[in-house]
A and B are shown apart, each in its own frame.
Chain A
Amino acid sequence: MPYQQKSNYISLFTTIIIFGIYYYFIFQLYHEGRFEGAEANALIGKSILWLIAGGVVINIVAHILFSIIFAIITNDPKPSFLVDERDKLFELKALRVAYYIIGFGFVASMVALAMGQSVFMTINIVLFFTAIAGIIEIIMQIYFYHRGF
């Protein structure tokens, strides 16, 4: 199994962990009533910035660790991290599906906003569909690799 194929499992794991941690804290803050009142919008912004920063750090650390472990397991002094045209094709096909899901999520969030839902709810609908899109994108890539084309 090449590096690119294995790294999909790491990406799937990190995506679930990142959004899992995010929603764990968000629901805690929500039940404490922190998303109501004048400070609510600022807290939403801060939460999302933490999600982005945390996501980047967790992804980088996980992939660095994985690269080291991959090099040790393969016992290859020059392990191949090659990404070829077929890998890129799989990425593009999966990305197209993710794009549709995010688009649908955006429309769903606008419907929620039009129906009088809060900004907190609207933004979290977008984020939820972004998380689902990210997970589906990786699962599709895993599926393409197993299918072989």
Chain B
Amino acid sequence: MSKTLVSNNIRRLRFEHDEMTQKKLAEIVGVTRQTIVAIEKAKYAPSLELAFLIARAFNKPLEEVFIFEGEEANAQNPP
């Protein structure tokens, strides 16, 4: 199953925030639980707005929540 180039630490951050449920996070950021599931599994790359909302829900900067995997690949294999 294809994955996006954007991975994330949402699962760990949920655990660190009193084991916040996917449903609770979905309610905070205003999406369905299925969308949080898809983002967490890196099957769906959220919009910039939703990414910021998720980061704000954890009081973390965006780059601590989401990681662009393409960046690492580029660093390992420079053009």
Contacts and interface: CB of A to CB of B under 8 A. Distances in A.
A47 B70 CA distance: 56
A148 interface: yes
A86 B38 contact: yes
A1 to B, nearest CB: 8
A2 B32 contact: yes
B42 to A, nearest CB: 9
A20 B33 CA distance: 36
A5 B34 contact: yes
Interface string B43-55: 1101100100000
Interface string A111-149: 000000000000000000000000000000000010111
B28 interface: no
Contact of B31 (A5, A82, A145, A148): A82
Main secondary structure of the interface of B (DSSP, over half): loop
B30 A82 contact: yes
A86 B33 contact: no
Nearest to B44: A149
Given A4-B32, A82-B31, A85-B31, 16 more contacts: A2-B33, A2-B34, A82-B30, A84-B32, A84-B35, A85-B46, A85-B47, A86-B34, A87-B35, A145-B34, A147-B1, A148-B38, A148-B41, A148-B44, A149-B4, A149-B43
B32 A86 contact: yes
B13 interface: no
- Give the size range of B's interface with the partner: 10 to 19
A80 interface: yes
A145 B43 CA distance: 12
Contact of A84 (B4, B30, B43): B30
Q: Rank and list the top 7 A-B pairs by shortest CB-CB distance, nearest first.
A: A149-B43, A84-B31, A86-B35, A2-B32, A149-B44, A148-B38, A148-B43
A149 B32 contact: no
